[in-house]
Structures are given as structure tokens and as C-alpha cells.
Structure 1
Amino acid sequence: MNDSSVPSVPDDSLSPAGRVAAIDRLVSHVWMVRAFLKHCDEAIDDDELQEIHRDLYDFMLALGPALASGDDAVYLKQAKKKLSKLRKATELFVAIQPEVSGHTNFQMAARSLQTAVDQIVPLVKS
């Protein structure tokens, strides 16, 4: 099974378990961007970058217990509850990324995060 295959548009035929699995695969991208931002030198003195990586972590942390217990309904409820925070953190990062650094690592992090969140949103809302 190819775990990288995630629908780019909401698939109404996905079961709750299928939506959780798809969201969880995309969260791996969010995790990598969060780790990059947390450990980059630019974040040491940048309150906005620190806020972004904390908000990304908050989204993922909220999903962990439901994922571990296999409770798809709670997972999707938590994802919906935390979705606005994830979206705001993503929008902020994409907006400030050129000011923070024009390095390819930052450009790709912004693109990766935006792509993952763009795919998470319809899965959470469907």
C-alpha cells in the first residue's frame, strides 16, 4: 500500500477511518516542518516562528490520544476543533517566510506545509 496517496479533493466515499488515515499521513509533513522551524537558527529570536511551531505541535498533540485509541470520531472532532489554529499558523508562516529567509529550505517548508494543510482541510470538513 502506498501511504503517499492522499486525495487532493474530498472524497465523500472515505470512511471516518480512511479520513483519519489520510490526515495522519499529511500530519507527517506538518511534523517535519514543525521540527525544521523549532530547530532552525532563525527561530531563536523570532517570536512568530516560535508561535508557529508551537501551534503546529498543538494541532498534532490534540490528535494523538484519539489516534492511539483508534477513536476516529474523537480524532475528527479534535481535528475540526484545532483546524483554525493550524490554518492560521500556516498562513502566518507562508506570509513571513520570505522575510525570515529566502533559502530553499524555508521556501520548501512553506510549500510543504501549505500543501499538507490544503489537503487536510477538506478531509476534516467532509
Structure 2
Amino acid sequence: MSLSKAQAVERSQIILSHAWMVRTFVKHSEEVEDFPELSHIVRAVFDACRALETRVDDPDAYLKMLRKKISKLRKATDQFAIDAPEASLHTNFEQAVISMKACTKALEELLEQVE
């Protein structure tokens, strides 16, 4: 299935809203004080979302920026999957890892489907 660029931007924004909620959870968790490496996912999501939000009305520029940001987001997600269990085995952190993996994978797949 192929997506128009406008559809890809719309779906990407929805996916990133989920990543933003993970960011907010981690940023405000008590564990981040003892495990500052958790801040990497916070910064990666913030960076991607802020870079993309200024391009929502220009699908070409948005998708170009998403292609630039996706590898950094993937690396941060992969590291978060390693760091989160060190910080806490609580279900909230387990679910946050699952959510970030799903968001990153969905964004990568979305980029493959754009016309």
C-alpha cells in the first residue's frame, strides 16, 4: 500500500504523539535522576518532534527531515531498550520500551510506503 505524502505526514504526527507520551513519562520519572542515560530517549524524541512540527504544512520538507531524524531516533530507541530495564523493571518502563520500538518501526515502515 502506498501513501500520499500528506497522508504520511498525518500518520507520522499520530505516531510521534505516542513517542511524545513516552518522552513525557520518562522525563518526569524519578528513575531519570539515578539513570541520566534515560534522558537520551527524551532528547531524541524532543529533537525529532520539534524539527518536524515546523514542516507539517510542507510534506516534502517534512519527509526529508524525518528521513534525517529516523536513524537517530532508532539508535536512541535501541539504547533505551538496554537502559530502561537497568533503571526499572516496572511495567511502565517495559511498556515504554515496547511503545518506542513500535513507534520507530512504524515510522520506518511509513517512509517505505510513501509515493
Which among 55, 69, 72 is matched to residue 82 of structure 1? 69
Identity of aligned residues (%): 41
CA distance in 2, matches of 1:53, 1:41: 14
Higher relative contact order (CA 8 A, sep 6+): 2
Instruction: Note the aligned Cα RMSD (angstroms).
Output: 1.1
Corresponding residue number in structure 2 for 1:73: 60
Corresponding residue number in structure 2 for 1:102: 89
Q: How many residues align?
A: 113
User: 1:113: Cα distance to partner?
Assistant: 1.0
Question: Runs of 4+ in structure 1 displaced over 4 angstroms?
Answer: none
Preserved CA contact (<8 Å) 1:37 1:53: yes
Corresponding residue number in structure 2 for 1:52: 41
Q: Report the TM-score, using the length of structure 1 for normalisation.
A: 0.85
- The secondary structure found in structure 2 opposite 1:80 is helix
Preserved CA contact (<8 Å) 1:80 1:125: no
Corresponding residue number in structure 2 for 1:39: 28
Preserved CA contact (<8 Å) 1:63 1:79: yes
Q: Return 5+ residue gaps in structure 2 as ranges.
A: none
CA distance in 1, matches of 2:76, 2:112: 18
CA distance in 2, matches of 1:53, 1:99: 16
- Deviation string 1:3-48 (CA, Å, 9 cap, x unpaired) is xxxxxxxx32x10001111111100110000001111011123221
Q: Return 5+ residue gaps in structure 1 as ranges.
A: 1-10
User: 1:52: Cα distance to partner?
Assistant: 1.8
